[in-house]
Amino acid sequence: SGSVGIDIGNANTVVAVARNRGIDVIVNEVSNRSTPSLVAFGPKNRFIGESAKTQEITNLKNTIGSLKRILGRSLSDPEVQYEKRFIPGEFVDINGTVGVKVSYQGEKSTFTATQLLAMYLSKIKAITQAEIQMPVTDVVLAVPGWYTDAQRRALIDAGHIASLNPVRLVNETTAAAISYGVFRTFKEGQTKNVVFVDIGHSSYSVSVVAFKQGELKVLSSAYDTHFGGREFDHALTEFFAEQFKEKYKIDVHENLKAYSRVLTQTERLKKILSANATAPLNIESVMNDVDVSSVLNRSELEELVKPLLDRLVTPLETAIKESKVSMEEIDSVELIGGTTRVPAIKDTIAAFFGKPLSFTLNQDEAIARGCAFVCASHSPTLRVRPYKFEDVNQYSVTFQWEPVEGEDLSELEVFPHGNVVPSTKIITLFRDDTFDIEARYTNIETLPGSVNPWIGKWTIKGAKPTEKGDAPAVKIRLRTDHSGLITVDSAYTAVEEIVEEPVEESKKEGEDKESSEPPKTRSVKKWVRKDTLSIIHGTTALDHSVKLGLIEKENQMVEDDKHVADTEDRKNALEEYIYDMRGKIEDRYADFASDEEKSKLRTMLDDAEEWLYDEGEDATKSQYIAKYDELNSLGGVIKGRYLQAEQEKRDAEQRKREE
């Protein structure tokens, strides 16, 4: 299978595939290098990606975006409330997690955020498979570095529901850094410090990364999770909404479609202002038959988004401070993400660092490419150059347990903010029975919104008293894994035993090496591993049985979509046949049918056409096939005569040439 990297953006998703000849970005069914991150529901089928975007304005309430923002959250999370300004759909609670209520196949249906993302990934999978002509299973997914354990696990669940195998999650800016570092050479002993700034549609991330030959290390990362192009669009749309109240006496807030059309045109205007000093905004009949028009210039835009621009340097300052790299030691500043195209943003960042900015990376594709490389390096069939990368832990993690008598500690901050990722730590508890250990984020206030600070509970089974009746030492391996997941890797009992250890002797030169004396040893106390204990994992990830049910549901919806698409194809084929045959019977096929046949066929074609616009408008696949076959029973005969005559003509010409 292909080695695929996916950068799920809040606006657009980019997919890259690593093959033997290099890394390519996948184009979708309409030849775009990115796909709108939208899922929509209709009376018969779903619309995902490009088709969702196309129907968005006519189906706003059933078109859902912000997939990565709502994932892994609950309905009451203030972050979900914040999304309401961007998603007109209806949010609901589904067993403690957020979902949406939509009209689908003529009914009200609810889907969790995890399911929505799974639907999207399943479409991305289909697009990729069609393009590379290979099955896709293993994928590396990019995630915002600020994603918590619950959000990461929800994404992995979504991958599984889409029948994908997410082999690893990589933080977005780290993935960009990988695509920067992998194909560059650095001199022996040289370190280069590069700052990566990604401002996209919904979020802003910055990482300071140290590069050496064959490796990179993320020194620090900082974020503003409410800073992206959509905040610009929102501010501008609110401005125009106010202006239209005054100027045209209309309030676009009262009309979802009108508001959405202003939003779309505002985004267009914003992009134009990145390259031009002024830009127009014109919308015909936006509501109540009113046409609106306006203009905005770049400095007005900058004034309108000033509260945002004022926040721009904060993450930069945090990242630099935490990296412990001085401003002089920064070698370059790389910008990625769509919103870094805004001139005021570029200017502010350049002024902050006091140096020109670099645009070495493809700012829309670097993250997906980095992920594809990582996927390839996990693949047993592809050979890629070895590349080492280390990330940094965002939120401090504390493990806790029920203390036994004589134990004064009941919790320990095991993975502090800034700790290396991946990493393993071993703690020792003395236990002679089954016990639990739990993990949670240490500081709730540092988390993005009110995602669950609880990470997991691991039940460690099988510890028994020693022969002397004491509780054995249980060594527990705690881990932040390569996807940033917090887990208990393994646990085993250990006892301290006196063991004989060889003593290193410094031999004098010239001494006989084949000494007959036995090697000297000394007695030392050492931990000796005894029994491996079994662990029951309890995290926020979906239970296996629940997941199986969701996989089945997703497969059913894929089937339904396919059936609808096939039916549509059959209908189009029938329609085409009618028009094609109606024309040809008068010219090309005219000499190959009797008048009686012709008039019969004409009547059949007319009847079929009438049927198509009447009850056949919404018929079944087999009805379209049957209708087609009926027409073709006569049409096909006539066509056959024509083709035979053509063949005879060609044969005759051939014979003539040979004579």
Whichever of 203 and 220 has its CB closer to K ion, that residue is 203
150: three-class secondary structure by DSSP: helix
Is there binding between residue 338 and Mg ion (CB under 5 A)? Answer: no
**Binding-site residue total for K ion (CB under 5 A)?**
2
Q: Which does 553 bind (CB under 5 to 8 A by kind): K ion, Mg ion, ligand ATP, none?
A: none
Which residue has tokens 């106010």?
A: 242
Whichever of 33 and 234 has its CB closer to K ion, that residue is 33
- By CB atoms closer than 10 A (0-12, 13-18, 19+), residue 455 is buried
Smallest CA-to-CA distance from 240 within 263, 270, 274, 272 is with 263
- Which of 46-54, 187-195, 198-206, 326-334 is the region at the interface with Mg ion (rule: CB under 5 A)? 198-206
Q: Which does 230 bind (CB under 5 to 8 A by kind): K ion, ligand ATP, Mg ion, none?
A: ligand ATP
Strand order in the sheet with 90-94: 90-94, 97-104, 107-112
Cis ω before 380 (30° cut-off from 0): no
E strands within 239-387?
A: 278-287, 290-297, 330-336
Whichever of 207 and 567 has its CB closer to Mg ion, that residue is 207
How many angstroms separate the CA atoms of 375 and 367, rounded? 12
Cross-strand bridge partners of residue 94: 97
* Nearest-approach distance from CB 197 to ligand ATP, in angstroms: 11
* Nearest-approach distance from CB 199 to K ion, in angstroms: 11
Whichever of 144 and 635 has its CB closer to Mg ion, that residue is 144
Whichever of 12 and 63 has its CB closer to K ion, that residue is 12
- Which of 157-165, 199-207, 387-395, 526-534 is the region at the interface with Mg ion (rule: CB under 5 A)? 199-207
* Nearest-approach distance from CB 15 to Mg ion, in angstroms: 13
Cross-strand bridge partners of residue 474: 429, 493
Whichever of 149 and 365 has its CB closer to Mg ion, that residue is 365
Q: Name the residue whose CB lies closest to ligand ATP.
A: 229
**Tokens representing residue 275 in the block:** 């390259």
Is there binding between residue 200 and Mg ion (CB under 5 A)? Answer: yes
* Nearest-approach distance from CB 174 to ligand ATP, in angstroms: 14
* Nearest-approach distance from CB 201 to Mg ion, in angstroms: 7
- Which of 28-36, 71-79, 197-205, 296-304 is the region at the interface with Mg ion (rule: CB under 5 A)? 197-205
How many angstroms separate the CA atoms of 146 and 519, rounded? 56
Could you give the count of Cα atoms lying within 13 Å of 404 in the half-sphere of its Cβ? Answer: 14
Smallest CA-to-CA distance from 565 within 27, 28, 42 is with 42
How many angstroms separate the CA atoms of 458 and 460, rounded? 6
Q: Which does 42 bind (CB under 5 to 8 A by kind): Mg ion, ligand ATP, K ion, none?
A: none
Contact residue for K ion among 12, 205, 207, 393 (CB under 5 A): 12
**Tokens representing residue 209 in the block:** 């990364």
Q: Is the dihedral of CA 116, 117, 122, 126 positive or negative?
A: positive
Looking at the chain, the number of H-run helices and the number of E-run strands are 16, 28
Question: Which residues contact ligand ATP by CB under 6 A?
Answer: 9-12, 68, 200-203, 228-230, 267, 270-271, 274, 337-339, 341-342, 364
Dump the DSSP string for 169-202: EEEHHHHHHHHHHTT----TT--EEEEEEEE-SS
Whichever of 9 and 99 has its CB closer to K ion, that residue is 9
* Nearest-approach distance from CB 200 to ligand ATP, in angstroms: 2
Whichever of 142 and 491 has its CB closer to K ion, that residue is 142
* Nearest-approach distance from CB 168 to ligand ATP, in angstroms: 19
Q: Which does 148 bind (CB under 5 to 8 A by kind): ligand ATP, K ion, Mg ion, none?
A: none
Largest CA distance in the chain: 118
Smallest CA-to-CA distance from 232 within 293, 292, 309, 286 is with 309
How many angstroms separate the CA atoms of 619 and 571, rounded? 9
CB-based contact 35:50 (threshold 8 Å): yes
- Which of 7-15, 390-398, 418-426, 482-490 is the region at the interface with Mg ion (rule: CB under 5 A)? 7-15
**Tokens representing residue 471 in the block:** 């509780």
**Binding-site residue total for Mg ion (CB under 5 A)?**
2
Smallest CA-to-CA distance from 70 within 53, 52, 89, 83 is with 83
Could you give the count of Cα atoms lying within 13 Å of 152 in the half-sphere of its Cβ? Answer: 25
* Nearest-approach distance from CB 142 to ligand ATP, in angstroms: 9
Whichever of 9 and 448 has its CB closer to Mg ion, that residue is 9
* Nearest-approach distance from CB 34 to K ion, in angstroms: 6
Is there binding between residue 9 and K ion (CB under 5 A)? Answer: yes
Whichever of 9 and 228 has its CB closer to K ion, that residue is 9
* Nearest-approach distance from CB 143 to K ion, in angstroms: 13
* Nearest-approach distance from CB 334 to ligand ATP, in angstroms: 14
- Phi, psi angle pair for 599, to nearest 5°: -70, -35
Whichever of 53 and 201 has its CB closer to ligand ATP, that residue is 201
Whichever of 159 and 338 has its CB closer to K ion, that residue is 338
**Tokens representing residue 126 in the block:** 């289909």
* Nearest-approach distance from CB 73 to ligand ATP, in angstroms: 15
Dump the DSSP string for 583-612: HHTTTTTGGGS-HHHHHHHHHHHHHHHHHH
Q: Which does 202 bind (CB under 5 to 8 A by kind): Mg ion, ligand ATP, K ion, none?
A: ligand ATP
Q: Which does 181 bind (CB under 5 to 8 A by kind): K ion, ligand ATP, Mg ion, none?
A: none
**Tokens representing residue 562 in the block:** 């396919």
Whichever of 231 and 561 has its CB closer to ligand ATP, that residue is 231
Q: Which does 339 bind (CB under 5 to 8 A by kind): Mg ion, ligand ATP, K ion, none?
A: ligand ATP
- Which of 7-15, 226-234, 432-440, 612-620 is the region at the interface with K ion (rule: CB under 5 A)? 7-15
* Nearest-approach distance from CB 26 to ligand ATP, in angstroms: 15
Is there binding between residue 72 and Mg ion (CB under 5 A)? Answer: no
* Nearest-approach distance from CB 200 to Mg ion, in angstroms: 3
**Tokens representing residue 574 in the block:** 């029938």
What one-character DSSP code corresponds to residue 510? T
Is there binding between residue 9 and Mg ion (CB under 5 A)? Answer: yes
* Nearest-approach distance from CB 229 to Mg ion, in angstroms: 10
Whichever of 47 and 146 has its CB closer to ligand ATP, that residue is 146
How many angstroms separate the CA atoms of 47 and 41, rounded? 6
CB-based contact 32:23 (threshold 8 Å): no
Whichever of 12 and 205 has its CB closer to K ion, that residue is 12
Question: What count of other Cβ atoms lies within 10 Å of the Cβ of residue 208?
Answer: 28
How many angstroms separate the CA atoms of 634 and 631, rounded? 6
Q: Name the residue whose CB lies closest to Mg ion.
A: 200
Binding-site ranges for K ion (CB under 5 A): 9, 12
Binding-site ranges for Mg ion (CB under 5 A): 9, 200
